[in-house]
Amino acid sequence: MSSSSLNDGRKSFEKDKDLVPDSTQIEVVKPSIHDAVELDEIEHTDTGWYIWLIALTASIGGMLFGYDTGIISAVLVYLEDSLGHLLSASEKELITSLCSAGAFVGSIIAGLTADRYGRKGPMYIGCALFTVGAVLQATAYSIPQMAVGRLIVGFGVGSAAMIVPAYIAEIAPTKHRGRMIGLNNVSITGGQVISYGLGAAFAGVPHGWRYMVGLGGVPSILLAVLLPLCPESPRQLIYHNKHEEARAVLHRIFRAATPEQVQDKIQLIEAGVRESRESTGNQSRFSIVKQLHTNPAYFRALVCACGLMTISQMSGFNVLMYYSGTLFALVGFSNPVAVGLVVSGTNLAMTLVNMLVVDSFGRRRLLVTTSWGMSASLVAVAVSFAYIPVNLETLEMTTKSVTTPAIIVLVFIIFFVIFYGVSIGNTAWMSADFFPMEVRAVGTMYMTCCCWGSNLIVSSTFLSMMKGITPSGAFGFYACLTFIGWVMIIFFYPEMSGLQLEEIREVFKHGFGVRYASRLRKQRAEDRHARLG
């Protein structure tokens, strides 16, 4: 596109903007999708290291999320009678699931405060919660204190899980958005790997589990120190009428952009902010929640994002994170935490693969072509467990040797993790960009609540399911849910990779937008080709 054409487009948009004297005017002329592409030339300029450092810093919250959910697997193996007596299966489920319960509440609190206080405020609160929870757990000599520590850490996990993807989605350039949210997913799985590594390292240390949980407070202090160096989201700054601050942030993100391109980007964001304000006005938080359910486009985005998140959790993946030590000890492995490290390491590797290919390959294509493998792998695990003699009362093997079916269980659990990590496990967290700005915080809150609500169900019932319907029945149940989820993805999940945040809001105005999103992406590709030509 020539500079004169771009200037004409900008002047035309500014003229339309001048027709609206204030935000209370009812009729607002907003740019069309074609105009948005013209006004978003900044997205095709180079970005530097600054934005990646911001995303990396924010992703420390994801690492805390992964560490505190993963470390419990090793803790349950080595806790023994440190809390007064040997824990029963129900007490282990309680300690494990309280983190998920706290995360459910924490995500709600973060979602209700994120618009008023910005995206960084809940991050600071999360740092304090992680630190306090780590100290309480490390000094616990009773089940109640350990439970309170896990609950407080859960508040921090929920806050981080909700706010970090939303923050990165708003601050990331369109061409890097999937990879940058993927960086947070890498941090989550990296935190899990670190938790297993430290679990194995402190396995032979007296009361080593105290060091395991206590070290969870170190990254939270680091994040609190680095957060002042990170800017607020430009969209949040413009939403709160801090235009000059937003301009400075955009200049640092898009280092090669001209002042005119930055101004174009600000105008495009302003158009989205105006539409957000028209949609919400001075409505209460309850009214915005109600609108999320009554506006058809918002509700379809909610169903799609929350549905994918629920599938990712009900697949049973977190059974491996929370109970892998218990699970691999059950099938006869002498060092179950080390075996769990192999599983978490596989997940980290696949998360890296997802981050590298998701923007170019596409989220939908990844999900459709790989999610079926999760169900197939779980079926193989369920069948293998039928040949492993397990005492359903104690959940212990009647023999102590590692049998061929036990090795097959491990192999297909690794296959399951490969399919999970490269597809649904990480892509589910990218759905924060499904929601328009006016409902993004609340929508992401709902999505995160679905994560932790489902997670709570899995973590609090797995050992009971193993006893009640046998290990084969438990994994067969997860296989059925995963297969149903794959079918639902085929019919209802649209392709959002490469679309601007301001364009995504249009997708769900056309049903679930699977075909519309495909046409829109094709149109954008043709426009880019025409400009380059």
DSSP string, 76-140: HHH-TTTTSSPPPHHHHHHHHHHHHHHHHHHHHHHHHHHHHHTTHHHHHHHHHHHHHHHHHHHT-
Q: What is the pLDDT of residue 145?
A: 94
Answer yes or no: are the C-beta atoms of 352 and 59 closer than 8 Å: no
| pLDDT tens digits in sequence order for the chain, 533 residues long | 444 444 444 444 344 444 333 433 333 344 444 444 455 678 777 777 888 999 999 999 989 988 988 888 888 888 888 898 888 888 888 888 898 889 888 888 887 777 777 788 888 989 999 999 999 999 999 999 999 999 999 999 888 888 888 888 888 888 788 788 888 888 988 898 898 888 888 888 888 899 999 999 999 999 999 999 899 888 888 888 888 999 999 888 888 888 888 888 888 888 877 777 776 655 667 777 888 888 899 999 999 999 999 999 899 888 877 777 667 776 666 666 667 778 888 888 998 898 888 888 889 999 999 999 999 999 999 999 888 887 777 777 666 667 788 888 888 989 999 999 999 988 888 887 888 877 887 888 888 888 888 988 888 888 888 888 988 999 999 999 999 999 999 999 998 887 777 678 788 888 888 888 888 888 877 776 776 66
Q: What is the pLDDT of residue 4?
A: 44
Q: What is the pLDDT of residue 138?
A: 94
Q: What is the pLDDT of residue 179?
A: 83
Query: Global pTM?
Result: 0.70
Answer yes or no: are the C-beta atoms of 219 and 467 closer than 8 Å: no
Angstrom distance (rounded) from CA 363 to CA 359: 7
Q: What is the pLDDT of residue 143?
A: 92
Answer yes or no: are the C-beta atoms of 520 and 507 closer than 8 Å: yes
Output the DSSP codes for 472-490. HHHHHHHHHHHHHHHHHHH
Structure tokens at 26: 């009812």
Structure tokens at 65: 């999320």
Delineate the domains of the chain, giving CATH numbers in brackets. 49-234+287-507 (1.20.1250.20)
Answer yes or no: are the C-beta atoms of 314 and 425 closer than 8 Å: no
Q: Which long-range contacts (CB under 8 A, 24 or more apart) does 389-392 make?
A: 390/330, 390/470, 390/471, 392/466, 392/467, 392/470
